[in-house]
Amino acid sequence: MAGAGGGGCPAGGNDLQWCFSQVKGAVDEDVAEADVISTVEFSHSGDLLATGDKGGRVVIFQREQEVPILKPMDLMVEASPRRVFANAHTYHINSISVNSDHETYLSADDLRINLWHLEITDRSFNIVDIKPANMEELTEVITAAEFHPHQCNVLVYSSSKGTIRLCDMRSSALCDRHSKFFEEPEDPSSRSFFSEIISSVSDVKFSHSGRYMMTRDYLSVKVWDLNMESRPVETHQVHEYLRSKLCSLYENDCIFDKFECCWNGSDSAIMTGSYNNFFRMFDRTTWRDVTLEASRENSKPRASLKPRRVCAGGKRKKDEVSVDSLDFSKKILHTAWHPVENIIAVAATNNLYIFQDKAN
Partner 1 sequence: MTCKKCKTANGYMLGKGGKRKFDEHEDGLEGKIVSPSDGPSKVSYTLQRQTIFNISLMKLYNHRPLTEPSLQKTVLINNMLRRIQEELKQEGSLRPAFPASSPPADPLGSSYREAPPAFSHPAPAPCELGGAAPLEACLTPASLLEDDQDTFCTSPAAQPAAPARLAPPALPPEKDSFSSALDEIEELCPTSTSMEAAEATTDDPKGDSGGPGAQRPEGLQDGRPDDPKLMDSLPGNFEITTSTGFLTDLTLDDILFADIDTSMYDFDPCTSASGTSSKMSPVSADDLLKTLAPYSSQPVAPSQPFKMDLTELDHIMEVLVGS
Interface ranges with partner 1 (CB under 8 A): 87-92, 110-111, 131, 134-136, 138-141, 143, 160, 188, 191-193, 196-197, 200, 241, 244-245, 247-248, 250-254, 256, 312-315, 323-329
CA dist 79 and 77 (Å) reads 6
- Edge to edge, the sheet with strand 48-53 lists 37-42, 48-53, 58-63, 70-72
Residue 198, helix vs strand vs coil: helix
Residue 129 Cβ, how far from partner 1 at the closest point, in Å? 11
- Edge to edge, the sheet with strand 269-273 lists 261-263, 269-273, 278-283, 289-293
Picking from 20, 3, 16, 15, the residue whose alpha carbon sits closest to that of residue 300 is 20
Which C-beta is closer to partner 1: that of 256 or that of 287? 256
Residue 124 Cβ, how far from partner 1 at the closest point, in Å? 13
Contact criterion met (CB below 8 Å) for 290 and 14: yes
Which C-beta is closer to partner 1: that of 125 or that of 151? 125
Residue 245 Cβ, how far from partner 1 at the closest point, in Å? 7
Residue 33 Cβ, how far from partner 1 at the closest point, in Å? 10
Which C-beta is closer to partner 1: that of 125 or that of 241? 241
Which C-beta is closer to partner 1: that of 19 or that of 127? 127
Residue 155 Cβ, how far from partner 1 at the closest point, in Å? 20
Residue 188, helix vs strand vs coil: helix
Q: How far is CA 119 from the centre of its chain?
A: 28
Enumerate the H helices of the chain as residue ranges: 195-199, 246-251
Residue 94 Cβ, how far from partner 1 at the closest point, in Å? 8
Number of residues in the chain: 360
What number of other Cβ atoms are within 10 A of residue 270's Cβ? 27
CA dist 304 and 284 (Å) reads 22
Which C-beta is closer to partner 1: that of 48 or that of 141? 141
- Edge to edge, the sheet with strand 154-159 lists 142-147, 154-159, 164-168, 180-182
Residue 139 Cβ, how far from partner 1 at the closest point, in Å? 6
Residue 188 Cβ, how far from partner 1 at the closest point, in Å? 6
Residue 294, helix vs strand vs coil: coil
Which C-beta is closer to partner 1: that of 42 or that of 275? 275
Picking from 257, 283, 244, 260, the residue whose alpha carbon sits closest to that of residue 335 is 260
CA dist 124 and 278 (Å) reads 39
Which C-beta is closer to partner 1: that of 27 or that of 133? 133
What is the three-state SS of 342-356? CEEEEEECCEEEEEE
Which C-beta is closer to partner 1: that of 11 or that of 127? 127
Which C-beta is closer to partner 1: that of 164 or that of 197? 197
Residue 173 Cβ, how far from partner 1 at the closest point, in Å? 21
